[in-house]
Amino acid sequence: MRHLAAVAPLWAALLLGGCGGSGPEADTDTLVIFSAHSEEIIAEFTEGFRAWYKQRTGRNVDMTWPDPGGGGTRVLKRLQDKFHAGRYDVDVVFGGGMILEQMNQLGMLDPYRLPDEVLSAIPREVAGQPLYDRQFHWYGAAVSTFGLIYNKTVLKDKDLPPIKDWLTMADPRFFGLVGAGDPSKSASVRKAYDIILQAYGYEKGMSILVRMGGNAREFSGSSSEIPRNCAKGFLAVGPCIDFYAYRQMRSEGGERLGFIAPPGLTVVNCDPIAILKKAPHRKVAEAFVEFVMSPAGQRLWMLPAGAEGGPKTYTLSRLAILPSVHEEAAAAGSDVPFKPFTAQAADFYDADVENVRQTVLADYLRVALVEDHVALAKAWKALVDAGLPGEGVAELTKPLVSGEEMLRLGREVWRPVLIPDDASAEERALLTRKEEQRLRQKSDIETAWSRALSARYKALAK
């Protein structure tokens, strides 16, 4: 179980409620959920679902949330490993953005059609993005947008320009003051980087990301660290998902913060929920998905803590997918300013492109920006001190992999080989060898990237 220091008292009560000391009681059902969500979200949805399930069925439910050891990207990797080994011990995946569409294409999700009274209330799309899969393999449980969180005091004290768009993070005046995250660990960070690539075009987008990496103070393992460090004054600006920004702006130091979703340069995104293939507790999983997508679950995202029908302890500041809940939240004093149902669709964004390259992009940027960050920062600083010579900057920021090649790698090398349950021993052995070959090829490519980029950074620094 994940460590929940921040919510220990509530979490301890939740774990003990409805569970016997030696295992579930006769009147207790079981549910296992993989999630990249925060401890506060887990606590509120655990308590909310237990009460809802007890009222509906008269039974208790023992909910387990194993720690996947990272964000959405890590959730995907852990579940792929389980499926490859033929272990079906998780019922639901909750959160993680585009990873669910990749799981869907890999055959890892089982469809579930919500009851008509629940499904009919859900809009088909928001700002051009679908809110559920047409075959009901996943549903968008919440809506988010991506932008930049910034510290107004730091900007003033250091005489920095106002924050307008993603290009700010590439501005050399922000050297050492940019917050960044590891895209191989955080799906929301990887999503923000993909938005930059699509909004500006692949070549220019990569240039922005490399210069951002040169400006970065550090690379966080979790996207939630960026707003916290910004509030402390360690950072001037960094990429941030909207609800982390809103939550931080209500915390200590929040009055110094601002948040902008760059107009015309960002997207509205849904954060899905789905039932996994061969879920061991299928009926309870269906009930949990229904709860999350119903008004009872959606109110937990938006209503202030303590409001009737809302979360008990933590104001989550996330955007519900039901317009009726937005109205309830406004009446209850919710301070979430973004209005997703009036937002324009992002014409530049292609969800299929993001889905195909999401894992290879995360690994490429990890190698290019995170693993040799010190050498990258030295090279960027040397170029800044030299007056930003065009040839040098072009050499630093030129991607090793073209946009077309990244899509090919995503389809052919980064896509895992899954073994069907009904495969014969001979077929299983053949597919296992193919997966081993794929992993070796992937490792060789990453090693080549690392060597080439390390040499590039060192040469430019000199």
Residue 336 is predicted with a pLDDT of: 67
Does residue 303 contact residue 329 with C-beta atoms inside 8 Å? yes
- Give me the pLDDT at residue 57, please: 96
28-35 and 60-64: which strand pairing? parallel
Picking from 282, 438, 427, the residue whose alpha carbon sits closest to that of residue 359 is 438
Q: What is the pLDDT of residues 1-57, one digit of tens each?
A: 444 444 444 444 444 443 433 455 788 999 999 998 889 999 999 999 999 999 999
Helix ranges (DSSP H) in 386-424: 390-397, 403-412
Rounded CA separation 325/329 (Å) = 6
Give the pLDDT band of residue 70 (cuts 50, 70, 90). Answer: low
Binning pLDDT at 50, 70 and 90, where does residue 344 land? confident
301: phi then psi, degrees, rounded to nearest 5: -70, -40
pLDDT tens for each residue of 179-230: 999 998 888 899 999 999 999 999 999 999 999 999 999 998 888 899 999 9
The least confident of 20-24, 112-116, 152-156, 157-161 is 20-24
Q: What is the mean pLDDT of residues 117-123?
A: 96
pLDDT for residue 290 = 98
Q: What does the domain layout of the chain look like in residue ranges?
A: 5-142+269-340
State the pLDDT at residue 24. 55
- Residue pLDDT, tens place only, 264-284: 999 988 889 999 999 999 999
> What pLDDT is attached to residue 9?
43
pLDDT band at 162, cuts 50/70/90? very high
Q: Check the CA dihedral 441-447-452-456 and report its sign.
A: positive
> Residue 84 — very low, low, confident or very high, per pLDDT cuts 50/70/90?
confident
- DSSP code of 348? T
| 375 vs 1, more confident | 375
Q: In CATH, which of 3.40.190.10, 3.40.50.720, 3.30.70.20, 3.80.30.10 is domain 5-142+269-340?
A: 3.40.190.10
The pLDDT of 247-270, averaged and rounded, is 90
For residues 11 and 382, the model is more confident at 382
Please state, in angstroms and as integers, the Cα–Cα distance from residue 304 to each residue in 156, 328, 331, following that order.
32, 10, 11
Three-state secondary structure string covering 29-61:
EEEEEEECCCHHHHHHHHHHHHHHHHHHHCCEE
Residue 440 has pLDDT above 60, yes or no: yes
pLDDT tens-place string over residues 314-339:
989 899 999 999 999 888 887 666 78
Question: Residue 17's pLDDT is what?
Answer: 42
Q: What are the tens digits of pLDDT across the range 347-365?
A: 999 989 998 998 999 999 9
